[in-house]
Amino acid sequence: MDGDDYEALPDELELWCVYCGHHDDHSEFMTQQQLDRAMRAAGDIGVQILGQALDEAFGRSAMRSSRSSRSGFGIGIEITYRSEPFYPEPLPGIDEESLIRIRSCGSCSLRYAVFGEHRFCPVCGQLPAMVVALDALAAETARLDGLAQLSADVAAGLRERGVFTRIWVDTLENLVGVVESLGSAVFRGAVADAGVRLNGKGNVFQRLDHTAQLFVDAGFADLRSVVDNARWRRLIKFWAARHVFTHNDGLVDARYLTKVPTSTMRIGQRLTISEQDCRQAIADTEVLCRAIADLTRP
Protein backbone atom coordinates (compact mmCIF):
# COMPACT_ATOMS: atom_id res chain seq x y z
CA MET A 1 0.00 0.00 0.00
CA ASP A 2 1.05 3.58 -0.48
CA GLY A 3 2.94 4.66 2.63
CA ASP A 4 0.94 7.83 3.27
CA ASP A 5 -2.36 6.04 2.73
CA TYR A 6 -1.33 3.28 5.13
CA GLU A 7 -0.26 5.71 7.87
CA ALA A 8 -3.66 7.40 7.65
CA LEU A 9 -5.53 4.15 8.42
CA PRO A 10 -6.85 3.54 11.96
CA ASP A 11 -4.83 0.99 13.96
CA GLU A 12 -7.85 -1.17 14.72
CA LEU A 13 -8.85 -1.57 11.07
CA GLU A 14 -8.56 -5.10 9.66
CA LEU A 15 -6.80 -5.45 6.33
CA TRP A 16 -7.71 -7.76 3.46
CA CYS A 17 -5.47 -9.92 1.32
CA VAL A 18 -6.14 -8.72 -2.22
CA TYR A 19 -5.82 -12.26 -3.62
CA CYS A 20 -7.66 -14.65 -1.29
CA GLY A 21 -9.76 -12.29 0.84
CA HIS A 22 -8.30 -13.28 4.23
CA HIS A 23 -8.72 -10.34 6.60
CA ASP A 24 -6.90 -9.83 9.87
CA ASP A 25 -4.81 -7.44 11.96
CA HIS A 26 -2.11 -5.35 10.28
CA SER A 27 0.74 -7.42 11.74
CA GLU A 28 -0.55 -10.60 10.07
CA PHE A 29 0.44 -9.24 6.67
CA MET A 30 4.14 -8.73 7.37
CA THR A 31 6.45 -10.70 5.07
CA GLN A 32 9.21 -12.91 6.49
CA GLN A 33 11.88 -10.47 5.33
CA GLN A 34 10.06 -7.58 6.95
CA LEU A 35 9.67 -9.61 10.13
CA ASP A 36 13.39 -10.48 10.20
CA ARG A 37 14.27 -6.82 9.80
CA ALA A 38 11.88 -5.77 12.56
CA MET A 39 13.15 -8.47 14.93
CA ARG A 40 16.78 -7.43 14.35
CA ALA A 41 15.89 -3.79 15.02
CA ALA A 42 13.99 -4.79 18.17
CA GLY A 43 16.95 -6.90 19.34
CA ASP A 44 19.40 -4.02 18.79
CA ILE A 45 17.14 -1.66 20.71
CA GLY A 46 16.92 -4.20 23.54
CA VAL A 47 20.73 -4.43 23.78
CA GLN A 48 21.03 -0.64 23.90
CA ILE A 49 18.34 -0.32 26.59
CA LEU A 50 20.05 -3.00 28.67
CA GLY A 51 23.40 -1.26 28.27
CA GLN A 52 21.94 2.06 29.38
CA ALA A 53 20.36 0.40 32.41
CA LEU A 54 23.68 -1.18 33.45
CA ASP A 55 25.50 2.09 32.92
CA GLU A 56 23.07 3.78 35.27
CA ALA A 57 23.34 0.98 37.83
CA PHE A 58 27.16 0.75 37.94
CA GLY A 59 28.16 4.20 36.88
CA ARG A 60 30.22 5.18 33.86
CA SER A 61 33.63 5.89 35.47
CA ALA A 62 36.33 3.29 35.97
CA MET A 63 36.35 4.16 39.69
CA ARG A 64 32.81 2.74 39.97
CA SER A 65 33.13 -0.19 37.58
CA SER A 66 33.65 -2.77 40.36
CA ARG A 67 31.56 -3.46 43.47
CA SER A 68 31.88 -6.12 46.09
CA SER A 69 29.75 -7.32 48.93
CA ARG A 70 29.78 -10.06 51.51
CA SER A 71 26.79 -12.28 52.01
CA GLY A 72 25.55 -13.55 55.33
CA PHE A 73 27.25 -16.85 54.58
CA GLY A 74 30.66 -15.23 54.60
CA ILE A 75 31.18 -15.73 50.86
CA GLY A 76 32.55 -12.71 49.08
CA ILE A 77 30.83 -11.79 45.82
CA GLU A 78 32.40 -9.37 43.40
CA ILE A 79 30.68 -7.93 40.37
CA THR A 80 32.76 -6.30 37.68
CA TYR A 81 31.19 -4.24 34.91
CA ARG A 82 32.88 -2.52 32.03
CA SER A 83 30.92 -0.24 29.75
CA GLU A 84 31.59 -0.76 26.06
CA PRO A 85 30.03 1.06 23.11
CA PHE A 86 27.48 -0.91 21.04
CA TYR A 87 27.77 -0.77 17.28
CA PRO A 88 24.73 -2.45 15.68
CA GLU A 89 25.23 -4.17 12.36
CA PRO A 90 23.26 -2.94 9.32
CA LEU A 91 19.70 -4.21 9.30
CA PRO A 92 18.84 -6.98 6.82
CA GLY A 93 17.70 -5.57 3.51
CA ILE A 94 14.34 -6.18 1.88
CA ASP A 95 14.90 -8.08 -1.35
CA GLU A 96 11.38 -8.48 -2.71
CA GLU A 97 10.04 -8.21 -6.24
CA SER A 98 9.07 -4.67 -7.14
CA LEU A 99 5.40 -4.03 -7.76
CA ILE A 100 4.61 -2.22 -10.99
CA ARG A 101 0.83 -2.34 -11.22
CA ILE A 102 -0.55 0.41 -9.00
CA ARG A 103 -4.29 0.56 -8.35
CA SER A 104 -6.54 3.15 -6.74
CA CYS A 105 -9.72 1.84 -5.13
CA GLY A 106 -12.79 3.47 -6.61
CA SER A 107 -14.61 3.25 -3.28
CA CYS A 108 -12.03 4.36 -0.67
CA SER A 109 -9.34 5.87 -2.96
CA LEU A 110 -6.63 3.73 -1.31
CA ARG A 111 -3.55 3.37 -3.51
CA TYR A 112 -2.12 -0.13 -3.59
CA ALA A 113 -0.12 -2.37 -5.90
CA VAL A 114 -0.65 -5.99 -6.89
CA PHE A 115 1.31 -8.78 -8.56
CA GLY A 116 -1.59 -10.23 -10.55
CA GLU A 117 -5.29 -10.96 -10.67
CA HIS A 118 -7.06 -9.95 -7.48
CA ARG A 119 -10.56 -9.62 -6.12
CA PHE A 120 -10.24 -7.48 -2.99
CA CYS A 121 -9.24 -4.00 -1.84
CA PRO A 122 -6.93 -4.05 1.23
CA VAL A 123 -9.43 -1.85 3.09
CA CYS A 124 -12.87 -2.25 1.45
CA GLY A 125 -12.74 -5.98 0.81
CA GLN A 126 -14.68 -7.40 -2.14
CA LEU A 127 -14.24 -5.34 -5.31
CA PRO A 128 -17.36 -4.35 -7.28
CA ALA A 129 -18.32 -6.92 -9.91
CA MET A 130 -17.88 -4.42 -12.73
CA VAL A 131 -14.31 -3.65 -11.64
CA VAL A 132 -13.52 -7.37 -11.68
CA ALA A 133 -15.09 -7.74 -15.12
CA LEU A 134 -13.12 -4.86 -16.63
CA ASP A 135 -9.90 -6.20 -15.10
CA ALA A 136 -10.57 -9.59 -16.67
CA LEU A 137 -11.23 -8.06 -20.10
CA ALA A 138 -8.04 -6.01 -19.84
CA ALA A 139 -6.13 -9.20 -19.03
CA GLU A 140 -7.49 -10.88 -22.16
CA THR A 141 -6.38 -7.94 -24.28
CA ALA A 142 -2.95 -7.93 -22.62
CA ARG A 143 -2.55 -11.63 -23.38
CA LEU A 144 -3.23 -11.05 -27.07
CA ASP A 145 -0.84 -8.09 -27.05
CA GLY A 146 1.83 -10.31 -25.48
CA LEU A 147 1.49 -12.85 -28.26
CA ALA A 148 1.85 -10.10 -30.84
CA GLN A 149 5.22 -9.11 -29.33
CA LEU A 150 6.81 -12.53 -29.79
CA SER A 151 9.62 -12.86 -32.30
CA ALA A 152 8.64 -14.19 -35.72
CA ASP A 153 10.43 -17.51 -35.18
CA VAL A 154 8.87 -18.14 -31.77
CA ALA A 155 5.43 -17.07 -32.98
CA ALA A 156 5.64 -19.38 -35.99
CA GLY A 157 6.59 -22.36 -33.84
CA LEU A 158 3.72 -21.74 -31.43
CA ARG A 159 1.24 -21.16 -34.23
CA GLU A 160 2.14 -24.43 -35.94
CA ARG A 161 1.63 -26.33 -32.70
CA GLY A 162 -1.84 -24.87 -32.32
CA VAL A 163 -0.95 -22.74 -29.32
CA PHE A 164 -2.43 -19.58 -30.78
CA THR A 165 -5.70 -21.32 -31.63
CA ARG A 166 -6.00 -22.75 -28.11
CA ILE A 167 -5.41 -19.32 -26.61
CA TRP A 168 -8.05 -17.77 -28.87
CA VAL A 169 -10.54 -20.49 -27.92
CA ASP A 170 -9.71 -19.91 -24.25
CA THR A 171 -10.42 -16.21 -24.77
CA LEU A 172 -13.98 -16.96 -25.85
CA GLU A 173 -14.41 -19.30 -22.90
CA ASN A 174 -13.14 -16.65 -20.52
CA LEU A 175 -15.41 -13.95 -21.96
CA VAL A 176 -18.46 -16.11 -21.29
CA GLY A 177 -17.22 -16.59 -17.73
CA VAL A 178 -16.80 -12.84 -17.26
CA VAL A 179 -20.37 -12.14 -18.35
CA GLU A 180 -21.71 -15.03 -16.28
CA SER A 181 -20.06 -13.75 -13.09
CA LEU A 182 -21.08 -10.15 -13.69
CA GLY A 183 -24.65 -10.99 -14.67
CA SER A 184 -25.12 -13.17 -11.61
CA ALA A 185 -23.68 -10.56 -9.26
CA VAL A 186 -25.76 -7.73 -10.70
CA PHE A 187 -28.98 -9.76 -10.75
CA ARG A 188 -28.57 -11.14 -7.24
CA GLY A 189 -27.71 -7.69 -5.91
CA ALA A 190 -30.75 -6.01 -7.46
CA VAL A 191 -33.52 -8.62 -7.27
CA ALA A 192 -34.85 -9.50 -3.83
CA ASP A 193 -36.18 -12.92 -4.85
CA ALA A 194 -33.26 -13.74 -7.15
CA GLY A 195 -32.83 -17.17 -5.59
CA VAL A 196 -36.41 -18.13 -6.42
CA ARG A 197 -36.19 -16.77 -9.97
CA LEU A 198 -32.92 -18.61 -10.64
CA ASN A 199 -34.02 -21.91 -9.15
CA GLY A 200 -33.84 -24.68 -11.74
CA LYS A 201 -32.40 -22.47 -14.48
CA GLY A 202 -28.88 -23.92 -14.37
CA ASN A 203 -26.12 -21.79 -15.86
CA VAL A 204 -28.60 -19.25 -17.17
CA PHE A 205 -26.03 -16.43 -17.30
CA GLN A 206 -24.03 -18.39 -19.88
CA ARG A 207 -26.92 -17.98 -22.32
CA LEU A 208 -27.36 -14.46 -23.66
CA ASP A 209 -31.03 -14.53 -24.64
CA HIS A 210 -32.01 -16.22 -21.38
CA THR A 211 -29.99 -13.67 -19.41
CA ALA A 212 -31.71 -10.82 -21.21
CA GLN A 213 -35.15 -12.34 -20.58
CA LEU A 214 -34.33 -12.91 -16.91
CA PHE A 215 -33.71 -9.20 -16.42
CA VAL A 216 -36.83 -8.30 -18.42
CA ASP A 217 -38.99 -10.57 -16.25
CA ALA A 218 -37.56 -8.85 -13.16
CA GLY A 219 -38.64 -5.45 -14.46
CA PHE A 220 -35.47 -4.18 -16.12
CA ALA A 221 -34.70 -3.06 -19.67
CA ASP A 222 -34.09 -5.60 -22.41
CA LEU A 223 -30.38 -6.05 -23.14
CA ARG A 224 -31.29 -7.00 -26.69
CA SER A 225 -32.58 -3.46 -27.16
CA VAL A 226 -29.88 -1.70 -25.15
CA VAL A 227 -27.06 -3.30 -27.13
CA ASP A 228 -27.19 -2.48 -30.85
CA ASN A 229 -28.47 -5.25 -33.08
CA ALA A 230 -25.24 -5.87 -35.03
CA ARG A 231 -23.23 -6.21 -31.84
CA TRP A 232 -25.81 -8.51 -30.26
CA ARG A 233 -25.72 -10.80 -33.32
CA ARG A 234 -21.93 -10.95 -33.10
CA LEU A 235 -22.12 -11.81 -29.41
CA ILE A 236 -24.60 -14.61 -30.15
CA LYS A 237 -22.17 -15.96 -32.76
CA PHE A 238 -19.19 -15.78 -30.37
CA TRP A 239 -21.17 -17.49 -27.61
CA ALA A 240 -22.29 -20.22 -30.02
CA ALA A 241 -18.70 -20.75 -31.16
CA ARG A 242 -17.55 -21.03 -27.56
CA HIS A 243 -20.21 -23.67 -26.91
CA VAL A 244 -19.12 -25.71 -29.92
CA PHE A 245 -15.45 -25.57 -28.96
CA THR A 246 -16.19 -26.44 -25.33
CA HIS A 247 -18.65 -29.26 -25.93
CA ASN A 248 -17.99 -30.52 -29.45
CA ASP A 249 -14.29 -29.91 -30.16
CA GLY A 250 -15.22 -27.05 -32.46
CA LEU A 251 -17.32 -29.18 -34.81
CA VAL A 252 -20.43 -27.42 -36.09
CA ASP A 253 -23.70 -28.97 -35.00
CA ALA A 254 -27.38 -28.24 -35.56
CA ARG A 255 -27.56 -26.07 -32.45
CA TYR A 256 -24.80 -23.81 -33.76
CA LEU A 257 -26.55 -23.37 -37.13
CA THR A 258 -29.78 -22.53 -35.31
CA LYS A 259 -27.99 -19.83 -33.32
CA VAL A 260 -26.08 -18.55 -36.36
CA PRO A 261 -28.46 -19.03 -39.32
CA THR A 262 -26.29 -16.88 -41.62
CA SER A 263 -23.33 -19.27 -41.26
CA THR A 264 -22.10 -21.01 -44.40
CA MET A 265 -20.61 -23.87 -42.35
CA ARG A 266 -21.99 -27.39 -42.51
CA ILE A 267 -22.60 -29.85 -39.74
CA GLY A 268 -19.37 -31.65 -38.94
CA GLN A 269 -17.06 -28.93 -40.21
CA ARG A 270 -14.68 -27.44 -37.65
CA LEU A 271 -14.88 -23.75 -36.86
CA THR A 272 -11.85 -21.55 -37.28
CA ILE A 273 -11.09 -18.56 -35.10
CA SER A 274 -8.64 -15.67 -35.36
CA GLU A 275 -6.99 -13.03 -33.23
CA GLN A 276 -9.22 -10.41 -34.82
CA ASP A 277 -12.28 -12.43 -33.81
CA CYS A 278 -11.07 -12.41 -30.23
CA ARG A 279 -10.35 -8.69 -30.17
CA GLN A 280 -13.80 -7.98 -31.57
CA ALA A 281 -15.34 -10.33 -29.02
CA ILE A 282 -13.54 -8.53 -26.18
CA ALA A 283 -14.75 -5.14 -27.40
CA ASP A 284 -18.33 -6.38 -27.76
CA THR A 285 -18.22 -8.07 -24.36
CA GLU A 286 -17.13 -4.85 -22.68
CA VAL A 287 -20.12 -3.06 -24.16
CA LEU A 288 -22.37 -5.88 -22.95
CA CYS A 289 -20.87 -5.77 -19.44
CA ARG A 290 -21.42 -2.04 -19.16
CA ALA A 291 -24.99 -2.50 -20.33
CA ILE A 292 -25.61 -5.18 -17.71
CA ALA A 293 -24.17 -2.99 -14.95
CA ASP A 294 -26.31 -0.06 -16.08
CA LEU A 295 -29.56 -2.05 -16.03
CA THR A 296 -30.05 -1.79 -12.26
CA ARG A 297 -28.67 1.71 -11.74
CA PRO A 298 -31.18 4.40 -10.76
Find out whether 284 and 235 touch, Cβ atoms under 8 Å.
yes
User: Looking at residue 38, what is its pLDDT?
Assistant: 78
Can you tell me the mean pLDDT for 133-154? 95
How far is Cα 236 from Cα 260, in angstroms, rounded to an integer? 8
CA Rg value for the chain: 32
Can you tell me the mean pLDDT for 180-206? 96
User: Looking at residue 121, what is its pLDDT?
Assistant: 95
Q: Map residue 216 onto helix, strand or coil.
A: helix
Find out whether 240 and 262 touch, Cβ atoms under 8 Å.
no
Q: Map residue 111 onto helix, strand or coil.
A: strand
How far is Cα 257 from Cα 6, in angstroms, rounded to an integer? 56
Find out whether 185 and 191 touch, Cβ atoms under 8 Å.
no
Residue 18 or 58, more confident: 18
User: Looking at residue 1, what is its pLDDT?
Assistant: 87
pLDDT at 93 over 80: no
User: Looking at residue 62, what is its pLDDT?
Assistant: 44
Q: Mean pLDDT of all residues in the chain? A: 88
Can you tell me the mean pLDDT for 272-277? 96
The amino acid that residue 6 corresponds to is: Y
User: Looking at residue 74, what is its pLDDT?
Assistant: 54
Q: Which residues of 281-296 are buried (b: 16+ CB within 10 A; e: fewer)?
A: bbebbbebbebbbebb
pLDDT in tens, 194-252: 999 999 999 999 999 999 999 999 999 999 999 999 999 999 999 999 999 999 999 99
pLDDT in tens, 159-173: 999 999 999 999 999
